[in-house]
A = this chain, B = another copy of it.
Amino acid sequence: MITSHRITPIAEVEGESVTVSRLKAACSNCNLRELCMPAGISSTELDQLDELVYARRKVKRSDALYRTGDPFEALYAVRTGFFKTRLTFQDGRDQVTGFLMAGELIGLDGIGTEAHTVDAVALEDSEVCMIPYAKLEALSGEMPSLRTHFHKVMSREIVRENSVMMLLGTMRAEERLAAFLLNLSQRMVSRGYAALEFHLRMTREEIGSYLGMKLETVSRLFSRFQAEGLIEVDQKYVRIKDIDGLKAIYAHHTH
């Protein structure tokens, strides 16, 4: 068990303003605990978890939390802000593989090869809790509830990606965009934000990249959804006016 917390320099990324603070991150006080950590955990276990979270780190908008090829050291839980993960193909094409908000875990891609396979980029000024992976491995040996929870988190990521595959493989552009808006809305709700009104943190191009379409198609669809009275859009601002209408597009499958 670690009793004195050493402050050591962490991953200095050239040319970027990365701040690491030892604030004693304290899962035990964190209001994201429900999202982030195993439910029904005992208070002694919670103390152990507090050992796990090494430090917080601030990441400025458009800076990378890590990059493809970086050695894998830690997982990160988003405290505040918004990230995307981006996979770059050998010929330079890239694709957004995920958008991450508060309480979600970034970095699972690195475990398998001990190096990151995607870039994680902040879409707004953000803060993460850093979870050194070696500690997580060790602690999960002693703490079955943590282990089980961690496995569930990974499995759910696999399942999420399955449904993205289905989205990309079988759905039309309008269905994908409806699914995307509904998914965002739902995640806002579970964080206590308004369900039907939000600011997009990403550009049309990033949305399109995630959904496998061009930015022009995204833009046209926003316009069309608005014309049909489903939503109200003004640049990054979106208000869902007819959620059932969106659900119908997403699921009803006119064919």
Contacts and interface: CB of A to CB of B under 8 A. Distances in A.
Interface of A: 87, 89-95, 97, 108-113, 117-118, 137-138, 140-142, 144, 147-148, 150-159, 161-166, 168-170, 209-212, 251-253
A97 B137 contact: no
List the 10 closest A-B pairs by CB distance, nearest first: A169-B212, A111-B155, A112-B155, A168-B168, A112-B156, A161-B161, A91-B253, A154-B154, A95-B166, A112-B152
A96 B163 CA distance: 11
B162 A109 contact: yes
A115 to B, nearest CB: 11
Contact of A170 (B158, B159, B212): B212
A159 B109 contact: yes
Contacts of A140: 147
Contacts of A150: 151
Given A95-B165, A111-B155, 17 more contacts: A87-B163, A89-B251, A93-B170, A95-B166, A109-B155, A109-B159, A111-B151, A111-B152, A112-B154, A112-B156, A113-B159, A154-B154, A161-B162, A161-B165, A165-B165, A168-B168, A168-B169
A118 B253 contact: no
B147 A97 contact: no
Contacts of A137: 144, 147-148, 151
Nearest to A107: B155
A170 B87 CA distance: 11
Nearest to A154: B154
Which of A111, A155, A252 lies at the interface centre, i.e. has the most chain B CB atoms within 10 A of its CB?
A155
Which of A147, A152, A153 lies at the interface centre, i.e. has the most chain B CB atoms within 10 A of its CB?
A147
A251 B211 contact: no
